[in-house]
């Protein structure tokens, strides 16, 4: 009986560890209308603009605009080693940030005015770029954009 109890305890511990690891590789659950942007303090309400990252050490952070996440992540030195997710602008599905295609445009307002939209495929991104007079860029370009006045246009405080 005691042996069964020990085996059951070890198995339960392994399940907890396995579930914890799986949670770290998936995007967070966002409580729209309740969660607060880690950068600007505004309530996160629009999934198509919502982004998030989970640092290698620490808890996940949610943002109401891709530009806010980039700026905050740079300032806190967390972005380079974090797992990062963005939402597809059209279908609102989570995408790993490195796999997304981005449209930089001043023609489409985003919550904090950075003007960066994410898409899960290049064809839809290219159509949006054409429609919005924008440019398709990659994650490597997004994280290198200058931040003096926001990523695109002027960043305004909420």
**Per-residue pLDDT tens digits for 49-105:** 999 999 988 899 999 999 999 999 999 999 889 999 999 999 999 999 999 999 999
Inside any domain, residue 114? yes
Burial string for 62-85 (b: 16+ CB within 10 Å, else e) reads bbbbbbbbbbbbeeeebbeebbbb
Is the model's pLDDT at 143 over the cut of 80? yes
Inside any domain, residue 151? no
Inside any domain, residue 4? no
Q: Which residues contact 57 (CB under 8 A, 6 or more apart)?
A: none
Inside any domain, residue 66? yes
The pLDDT assigned to 156 comes to 35
Tokens 């904090």, located at residue: 112
Per the structure, how many domains does the chain have? 1
Inside any domain, residue 154? no
The model's pTM is: 0.79
Tell me the pLDDT band of 107, cut-offs 50, 70 and 90: confident
Angle at 142 between CA 60 and CA 82, to 5 degrees: 25
Is the model's pLDDT at 48 over the cut of 90? yes
The pLDDT assigned to 150 comes to 56
Q: By the 8 A CB rule, do 72 and 81 touch?
A: no
Inside any domain, residue 150? no
Q: Which domain holds residue 127?
A: 27-142
The pLDDT assigned to 82 comes to 95
The pLDDT assigned to 152 comes to 55
137: alpha, beta or left, given left = phi > 0 and alpha = psi -120 to 50? beta
Inside any domain, residue 21? no
94: alpha, beta or left, given left = phi > 0 and alpha = psi -120 to 50? beta
Q: By the 8 A CB rule, do 63 and 71 touch?
A: no
């Amino acid at each position: 009986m005691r042996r069964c109890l020990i085996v059951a305890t070890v198995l339960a511990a392994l399940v907890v560890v396995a579930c914890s690891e799986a949670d770290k590789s998936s995007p967070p659950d966002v409580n729209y209308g309740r969660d607060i942007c880690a950068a600007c303090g505004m309530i996160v309400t629009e999934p198509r603009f919502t982004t998030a990252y989970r640092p290698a050490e620490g808890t996940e952070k949610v943002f109401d605009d891709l530009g806010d996440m980039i700026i905050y992540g740079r300032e806190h030195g967390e972005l380079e080693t974090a797992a990062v997710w963005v939402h597809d602008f059209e279908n609102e599905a989570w995408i790993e940030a490195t796999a997304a295609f981005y449209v930089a445009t001043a023609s489409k307002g985003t919550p904090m005015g950075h003007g960066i939209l994410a898409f899960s495929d290049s064809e839809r991104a290219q159509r949006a770029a054409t429609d919005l007079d924008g440019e398709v860029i990659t994650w490597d370009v997004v994280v290198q954009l200058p931040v003096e006045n926001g990523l695109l246009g002027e960043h305004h405080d909420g």
